[in-house]
Structure 1
Amino acid sequence: MDQLTLDPARTALVLIDLQNSNVKRELAPHSAEKVVGNCVLLAQEMRERGALVVYVRVLVNELPALPADSPMRPPGAPAAPPDAAQLAPEAGVEAQDVVIVKRQWGAFYGTELDQLLRRRGIDTLVMGGIATNFGVESTARAAFDRNYKLVFAEDAMSSMEGEAHHFACGTIFPRMGRVRSTRTLIDALQAGTGAA
């Protein structure tokens, strides 16, 4: 594993779906409390270094309800409560952060995210959020297609099943970028600037 350095001026922390509907879920292998806590630590460190922090939330009642063998919301299920799509208070959003609203799993489709990042000269994304193999992976795949360098904060994301998280972090993400712990990423930020 090579040494990781991050240039805050060219790096954005992208936190996926830390909203009320997700932070109340039972997650594995990391609890929602641990994921949110690590995301907050990363966001604080990134802000202190002048890096961009992006929170993404999904309008859960506007997600497509296409035919599927195991749909996220079964046909006829009641709509999510009005606050389900709101970012959780414990997620620590601050006034200078960017909030992206999406209607799909991925944060690039139908949003201004790519344009916003490119206008700021961002070429590296640090990824975290809920859930690893849904919103995080979908966003990461789109970022990879757009040639962003990717870093995955393994313990700042989780899923509904530990096996799905481990598969993404052990098999998919290492082929797209670098998988590191929150502590390693904070150490890299504190060590100074450079190219990821």
Structure 2
Amino acid sequence: MSSAYLVLDLQNDLVHNDGPNGKGPLGEQVRGRQILARTQKVISRARDAGAAVLFVRVGFSPDYRECSPTSPMFAAIRKFGILKLGTWGTEIHPDLDRREGDLLVTKHRVSPFYGTNLDLFLRAQRIQRLVMSGVSTVAVVQAATRDAHDRDFECVVVEDACAAATAEEHENSIAALARFAAITTSDDVAF
């Protein structure tokens, strides 16, 4: 079975120590849980197995034209002026081995499937199994897993390579996702 690894929203504005969210509770969880090192370990395992590695980021035009005015989460993004495409904040964290041939999916909503070319790419490459991790567990990891599940992909979530703003949010999200995906760790994940 053909597999891919989806690295979800590990971009500078969200997880870099110098990024706005990297300085807050999410950044503390990312550092404390060693998310970047564990993600890089999974990237290496995926590459060694010949699996595709895909990076997903969230970003908006400088005038936020794609940003929903009805979303409390997206209103905060606009208010704080973050996640603008073409800036350092929407670049994938430099500690991760992103290569030229890796697909970079840019999304304007929580789910990486909504309004993007992700599903088309996965079908064209005959990928049937998705291994996923990133931030935040309560948002993009949940959305990606549920959407992938409903599109009939086999789903695997790498629990110790995911984080949310609090340990409780993360744990509750993982418990919910166990209904839709196999839950594994960066030491045990297989491709």
Matched ranges for 1:77-92 at <5 A? 77-80=79-82, 82-92=87-97
Residue 44 of structure 2 is aligned to residue 39 of structure 1:
no
- Partner residue of 1:192? none
Pick 1 or 2: higher relative contact order, CA cutoff 8 A, min separation 6: 1
TM-score by length of 2: 0.84
Residue 98 of structure 2 is aligned to residue 106 of structure 1:
no
Amino acid in structure 2 at the alignment position of 1:15? V
Identity of aligned residues (%): 26
| In 2, Cα distance between equivalents of 1:137 and 1:76 | 23
* Among candidates 181, 184, 191, match of residue 185 of structure 2: 181
Deviation at 1:178, TM superposition (A): 0.6
How many residues align? The count is 176
Q: Provide the secondary structure at the position in 1 that maps to 2:158.
A: strand
Q: Provide the secondary structure at the position in 1 that maps to 2:55.
A: strand
Deviation at 1:22, TM superposition (A): 1.1
- Partner residue of 2:19? none
Q: Which runs of 5+ in 1 are unaligned?
A: 1-6, 190-196
Do the aligned residues in 1 keep the contact of 2:67 with 2:74 (CA within 8 Å)?
Answer: no
Deviation at 1:49, TM superposition (A): 1.2
TM-score by length of 1: 0.82
Residue 168 of structure 2 is aligned to residue 159 of structure 1:
no
| In 1, Cα distance between equivalents of 2:158 and 2:14 | 18
- Partner residue of 2:68? 64
Q: Deviations over 1:144-167 (max 9, x none)?
A: 110111000001110111111101
Q: 1:129 to 1:31 in 2, by over 3 A?
A: same
- Partner residue of 1:140? 145
* Among candidates 103, 117, 122, match of residue 117 of structure 1: 122
Amino acid in structure 1 at the alignment position of 2:51? A
Do the aligned residues in 2 keep the contact of 1:56 with 1:99 (CA within 8 Å)?
Answer: yes
